[in-house]
Structure 1
Amino acid sequence: MLQTKIQYLGHSSFLVNFGGKKLLFDPFISGNPMASGIKIDEIEADYIFISHGHGDHMADAEAIAKQTGALIISNYEIMGWFEQKGLKGHGMNIGGKLSLDGFTFKNVIAIHSSVLPDGTYGGNPMGFVVWNDTNCFYYAGDTALTLDMQLLPKICPPLDFAILPIGDYFTMGYEDAVIAADFIECSKIIGCHFDSFPPIKIDHHAAKAAFSSADKELILLNVGKEVLV
């Protein structure tokens, strides 16, 4: 198994170098004070995955797609909204999968809400499972804990790691994320959607202890930092 390089860009935004392709997830940088050290015009991306329409997950998608030529991957409604801005990609729906450039991804359910910045209907939120011949990971997007997560080991390859929201209030908290890790049969979790705003600030020690007591690892990255998994 080859290691995957992941850079944390703050909140729920990650740049994942996967099999030589740069996959950018939920870019929210310019509006996030914690990501002030990240320069949007230096980001390279081949694909931009957008889990839902909220501004804290897609604020910089248009700018980055225009500067890089990256294709956008999202639901049908969000992709239609971007197509009106001259951008290209794949507008899909939950349950669908697609193979591109040596990797495959599957759109899976996320329990949340979705509306675009101008008030347009944002379609159904989703997460993504991404894999190639050697590696597989799950980006959950914004979601509550759901029994549907138990389906992932049945319909996707075994996970090397998963990116789960842990901040509570708007998504599941770290206590529920421990259960989610059981459901998806994954012991290495990277946390997201925490600390960016006062309602989602967490106790890092308590969160890591909760995972450790369940024989799992919780990785909490500082903004801009990279990790090999």
Structure 2
Amino acid sequence: MEIRFLGHSAFLFSTGEHKIVIDPFIQGNPTCPVPLEDLLRENVSAVLLTHAHGDHLGNALDFARAGATIIATAEIGYWAQGEGVNAIAANIGGTVRLAWGSVKLTPAWHSSSFPDGRYGGMPTGMIVEMDGVRIYHAGDTNAFGDMALIGEEGLDLAILPIGDHFTMGPREAARALEWLKPKRTVPMHYGTFPPLTGDPQEFARLARERGVEPYVLNPGETLQM
């Protein structure tokens, strides 16, 4: 399985047969090195959305119009259906199972609204299983004690926001690792805009102190699982 970082909170997960994209903020993302047109040719099966903010919702509709299915909370899923694309509306605690694997929605402490200001439902994280690999994408959040329950799922990788200001910073994200207990971790949601000042190298150092192997990916780089 291959994990490709597209900048900010956007990732492309690939196996030999299937590809999914999470929080596809591509156009307008100053850190994304891949043109949207190239990604739309990847035959993405699903778009997973943690919440409705524009820097996460991004180009979800473009992928859906190219054949992908959007998976998100009820508010986002029903909005997408109203836009005429395939979407599955789920909610926190629920698991959606498809040919490529599964995604379970988890809590996240943040906010969620569509770019036009409409309420976007509860924000989430997501536990994704593909090709026998279990990955937690935390979405936008702080650290919270119930991450210990998420960690009981047995995580191969935890992808955590570290930018500070809108989410937790490196030290709080390192505290989250103590509850999540993943084998590996990748930082995200930093450096995209001036307020997101969290240092990925500080996070990497703190992760190693906790026995978790960090991988700091530059946008466009990949991690093999």
Q: TM-score range by the shorter chain?
A: over 0.9
The TM-score normalised by the length of structure 1 is 0.92
Match of 1:123 in 2: 121
User: Which of 9, 25, 29 is the equivalent residue of 1:28?
Assistant: 25
- Percent identity reads 38
- Indicate if the aligned counterparts of 1:26 and 1:50 stay in contact, CA closer than 8 A: yes
State the 1:52 CA deviation: 0.2
State the 1:20 CA deviation: 2.7
Match of 1:79 in 2: 77
User: Which of 141, 164, 170 is the equivalent residue of 1:174?
Assistant: 170
Deviates more, 1:194-203 or 1:69-78: 194-203
Measured against aligned partners, the alpha-carbon deviations of 1:13-44 in whole angstroms (never above 9, x if no partner) come to: 00001463211000111111122x31111112
Match of 2:155 in 1: 159
- Indicate if the aligned counterparts of 1:34 and 1:223 stay in contact, CA closer than 8 A: yes
SS at the partner of 1:200? Answer: coil
Residues 188-203 of structure 1 correspond to what in structure 2 (within 5 A)? 188-203=184-199
State the 1:132 CA deviation: 4.8
Number of residue-to-residue matches in the alignment: 222
Aligned residue identity for 1:59: G
Residues 56-71 of structure 1 correspond to what in structure 2 (within 5 A)? 56-67=55-66, 69-71=67-69
Aligned residue identity for 2:23: D
Match of 1:143 in 2: 141
Match of 2:93 in 1: 95
Measured against aligned partners, the alpha-carbon deviations of 1:207-229 in whole angstroms (never above 9, x if no partner) come to: 22222222222212111111212
Measure, in 2, the Cα distance between the counterparts of 1:202 and 1:164: 12
Q: Does 1:54 align with 2:45?
A: no
- Indicate if the aligned counterparts of 1:41 and 1:64 stay in contact, CA closer than 8 A: no
Measure, in 2, the Cα distance between the counterparts of 1:79 and 1:181: 30
Match of 1:205 in 2: 201
Measure, in 2, the Cα distance between the counterparts of 1:178 and 1:93: 27
Over the residues paired in the alignment, what is the CA RMSD in angstroms?
1.5
Measured against aligned partners, the alpha-carbon deviations of 1:36-73 in whole angstroms (never above 9, x if no partner) come to: x3111111211000000100001211112212x10000
Match of 2:104 in 1: 106
Measure, in 1, the Cα distance between the counterparts of 2:89 and 2:16: 23
Measure, in 1, the Cα distance between the counterparts of 2:182 and 2:121: 28
Gaps of at least 5 residues in structure 2 are none
